[in-house]
Amino acid sequence: MRRTLLKLPLLALALRVAGAHAQTGTLNFGVISTSSVAETRAGWEPFFAAMRQATGLDVRGVYPATYEEAVDAIVASVLHLAWVSNKAALDCIERANVEVFAQMVDAAGSQGYRALIVTRRDSPLQSLEQLLGKARSWRFAMGEPSSTSGSVMPAYALFVPRGLKPEEHFLSLRRGTHAQALEAVLSGAVHAATYNTEELTRLRAQAPQRHAQLRVLWESALIPKDPLLWRRDLPLSVRRRIADFVFGIGKTSAERTMLDRMFGLAGFQRSTNQQLKFVLDIEDFKQRSEVLLDTTMPEAQKAERLADLRERYARLSRAVLMPLDSAR
């Protein structure tokens, strides 16, 4: 008999969730932490309290420490709903019975944000050309592989077109959250790091002295705002109650204040898997380019790998273009 073994971080998360929410009918809503788990929890718990009151559903917040832990928890059905990055959402749709149902909207009404590379204002590193020029010259920090702005977009726009592998190009490479990358830059542990405009805007408002220490070396094209996912096998009546709450929140002054504390949100708009087409395209380009530029891979292996990538792209394109259902 086959048995699924949970990874240790996921097992620990599952045990925490089970211990905290053993009630029948609890819906676990996962929230990625771009800063710290404590800060994320403080921002989102009032939202979940309001959701429970408005819907009558026992919705509980769960705060995975990493993107990987969040994706694994969704795939293992530990989580029923989640806020994740576009890249993490694509990973989930490939591996689990979930779909995008909403997209964040910030206080400025923007539906997108940009990836950044930042350095200290007093750093000897003065330009992107310096950073990407001579190999083994600079220490660098970037996001986890499932971070759209921290990993996927910089790889697509900067590293792959130049044939660079961050693990080989930089003197040292760190991976972690946006907050960890920022701290590494400001402390001098690295010369530069990936970041994004959402985090930079929050930093300017909350810690202007730290913001003033940064200089932006590079800014990407616009990335769609992050999605909310739900499991497709949730009862239609449950999904409708969730949708009514999510798309109705933000009308009162108290609700607007609550949303603003959730990292500067103004609310949510209806969305579908189609918003992930952007990240599917750039990830596919990145993966195919890495194969084509690999001088050590035999041609037969390249052909096989490219065929696998074409099949994956076609399969995920069908999932991304999936039609709406009546719960939205």
Q: What is the pLDDT of residues 259-318, one digit of tens each?
A: 999 988 999 999 999 999 999 999 999 999 999 988 899 999 999 999 999 999 999 999
Kindly provide the b/e burial profile for residues 189-207, where b requires at least 16 CB atoms within 10 angstroms of the residue's own CB.
Answer: ebbbbbbbbbbbbbbeeee
**SS3 helix, strand, coil % of the chain, rounded to 5?**
50, 20, 30
Residues of the chain short of pLDDT 50, as ranges, are 1-5, 11, 15, 18-23
Q: Counting Cβ atoms within 10 Å, is residue 213 exposed (0-12), middle (13-18) or buried (19+)?
A: middle
Is 58 among the domain residues? Answer: yes
The pLDDT assigned to 6 comes to 53
Q: What is the pLDDT of residue 20?
A: 43
Question: Residues 146, 205: one domain?
Answer: yes
Determine, yes or no, domain membership for 13: yes
How much is the pLDDT for 148? 95
Q: Both 306 and 170 in a single domain?
A: no
Neighbouring-strand partners of residue 143? 176
Q: Encode pLDDT of 193-212 as tens digits.
A: 999 999 999 999 999 999 99
Domain encompassing residue 136: 112-224
Tell me, yes or no, whether 188 and 46 share the same domain: no
Domain-located, residue 328: no
Q: Decide: 57 and 241 in contact? Cβ < 8 Å.
A: yes
Query: What is the CB neighbour count within 10 angstroms for residue 8?
Result: 8
CATH number of the domain that 61 lies in? 3.40.190.10
Angle at 308 between CA 10 and CA 162, to 5 degrees: 85
pLDDT for the residue 328: 61
Instruction: Kindly state whether residue 67 falls inside one of the protein's structural domains.
Output: yes
Longest dimension (CA), the chain: 62
Cβ 83 vs Cβ 51: under 8 Å: no
Q: Evaluate whether residue 137 is within a structural domain.
A: yes
Is residue 88 situated within a structural domain?
A: yes
